[in-house]
Structures are given as structure tokens and as C-alpha cells.
Amino acid sequence: NAGVTQTPKFQVLKTGQSMTLQCAQDMNHEYMSWYRQDPGMGLRLIHYSVGAGITDQGEVPNGYNVSRSTTEDFPLRLLLAAPSQTSVYFCASSLIAGHEQYFGPGTRLTVT
């Protein structure tokens, strides 16, 4: 099993550009989530999904979109990148909500 994979590892965007961060898991987990991690702020939940076709907002959803068309994939879209979105982004999955989460290696995003 590859576990949770994320691409790209690093990305630099200009303000106003858009991009999609990819996340995939091969563990047949129902629950998937996206976090951002900033110094001194810890991990903050952006969006989550409890199964294919179902998504919901977390603590900091503004500026981000998600969709879950398959159990395996949970992409995160930045529509109009802003410098405030400079962060490290982690995708995670768990069998169901509340179980131990498996994290991907992260994507380091810089918006200039």
C-alpha cells in the first residue's frame, strides 16, 4: 500500500493564479480531510469528506474548494491564490470519522 500520497511536494504561485493539490489513498478509507499548517497555529481543518459525493467545511474553508467523486481521491482547489494561503498543506484519511488518521507527506505552497 502506498498509503496517502500528495502531489506536488512544492509549488510557487503568483497571486490570482489557481491550482489543484492532489491527494489519493489506497486504503479504502471513507473519511478524508485537508489541513493547513502554519507556524504557531498548528493544523487547521480546511475541508473534509465522509464518503464519495459528500464534503463539508472545516475551520478555514474560505478560498478553497473540494470534491470527492471517488473513494480514493480528494483534490483541493485554490481558486484565486493569495499570499495568506502560503502554508504547508496536509491531506489525511481514516477508515471512518474519528479513527486514527494517516497523513500524506505534505505540499509546501508559496504564493507571491
Partner 1 sequence: SQKIEQNSEALNIQEGKTATLTCNYTNYSPAYLQWYRQDPGRGPVFLLLIRENEKEKRKERLKVTFDTTLKQSLFHITASQPADSATYLCALADGQNFVFGPGTRLSVLP
Give one DSSP letter per residue of 30-90, joined into a string.
Answer: SEEEEEEEETTTEEEEEEEEEETTEEEE-S--TTEEE--SSSSB--EEESS--GGG-EEEE
Residue 4-43 contact track with partner 1, rule CB under 8 A, x = bound: x--------------------------x-x-x----xxxx
Cβ nearer to partner 1, comparing 85 with 101: 101
Confirm if 101 and 93 have CB atoms less than 8 A apart.
Answer: yes
CA 67 to chain CA centroid, nearest Å: 11
Pick from 2, 10, 62, 98: which binds partner 1 (CB under 8 A)?
98
Stretch that binds partner 1, among 16-24, 52-60, 64-72, 79-87 (CB under 8 A): 52-60
Cβ nearer to partner 1, comparing 44 with 77: 44
CA 106 to chain CA centroid, nearest Å: 9
Q: Which residues bind partner 1 (CB under 8 A)?
A: 4, 31, 33, 35, 40-45, 48, 50, 56, 58-59, 90, 92, 97-106
